[in-house]
Amino acid sequence: MAGAVPTNTRRAYELDLACFASWCARHGVRPMPAEPKVIRAYLFELADQGRDERDLRGKRRPKGPLAYSALMRALAAICVSHQKSGYLSPWKDTIVEEARESLAQLKGTAPKKKKQGLEGVEENLLFRVCDLISDDIREVRDRAMILVGWQSGGRRQSEIVGAHVEHFKSSEKGIMWTIPRSKTDQTGKSHEVALLFVADERYCPVRALRRWLAISKIERGPVFRGVDMMTGKILDAPLAPQGVARRVQHYVKQLGLDPSDFGGHSIRSGFITTAVKLGRKEADIMEATGHRDVRTMRGYVRRAGLFEEAAGRGLIDEALARRNAKKESSE
């Protein structure tokens, strides 16, 4: 429960804590340190009835009972607040743990990922998507964007569109990408990932990126920018993060797949799933993705040596070899 809390999460925590404090005042119990049975009673009321208007104090009331994920966020807010105040977090208290398990059963679910990005762009789908991409200037960008995002550890949308020319450094082994800040890195500490050569240039992120930069003549600033559909002019502003998902959806739709099954996390989940299937070590995968919790990383599955030990090393080559071997055996 420790660590930096993203801005949006902090705001949500503030609302959760305000509601909990108001609820405790109405029931004549202390909010801190809160007794585990008090927390349990509060969570079950949220699960059964939702928030009370008296606790929201004029703020918009969410409709109906809270979902499991919202209940766990409310609990997390209470636990973080306890830790910051020097009290023991109630998260692992026996009563609270039993409440969490009961609520999961009551709601009939464990914490769900968003619908967007439910399906991953795994290796075979990655090849099929790349095979669709033409030499149109926008699609040259898309090839680079998808391959760079995929092989570098399944980067998040925000990391992909936040990439600047200055963040990439070429060498004879490939390209080193320094990501200044990520979702799980609220302190601004950078994270380095390696882009590696792939024998088949159609699926090579290094060649794809270099080609896009050469054609676009982008020498500084955002790498993956918008392109005017009418004129083909490259804009100054980067794509919005959702633009990555929309381009993935554009291609999977052409393949006859449901685009609503794909989205923001499809590149990330596809990389992780492929890496696991091909036997990469969890530690190497987490080094590439930036995950700090192995359980979170596993949820995507359906250093001086960054180049030698990168999880993406040879991954596309190996997957291509498997595909070609299957083709030959069936002929």
pTM for the structure as a whole: 0.58
Residues of the chain with pLDDT under 50: 1-3, 110-117, 186, 303-306, 308
Question: What was the pLDDT predicted at 228?
Answer: 86
- Say which CATH architecture domain 7-107 belongs to: Orthogonal Bundle (1.10)
For 129-161, the pLDDT digits (tens) are: 999 999 999 999 999 999 999 999 999 999 999
Q: Hey, what's the torsion of the CAs at 19, 21, 27, 30, to 10 degrees? A: 160
**CATH, range 123-330:** 1.10.443.10
What does the block give as tokens for 44? 């079950």
Where in the chain do CATH 1.10.150.130 domains reside?
7-107
For residue 313, what are the CA distances in angstroms to 58, 127, 191? Answer: 54, 17, 17
Question: What was the pLDDT predicted at 56?
Answer: 73
Q: In whole numbers, what is the pLDDT of the chain averaged over residues?
A: 84
Where in the chain do CATH 1.10.443.10 domains reside?
123-330
Question: What was the pLDDT predicted at 206?
Answer: 96
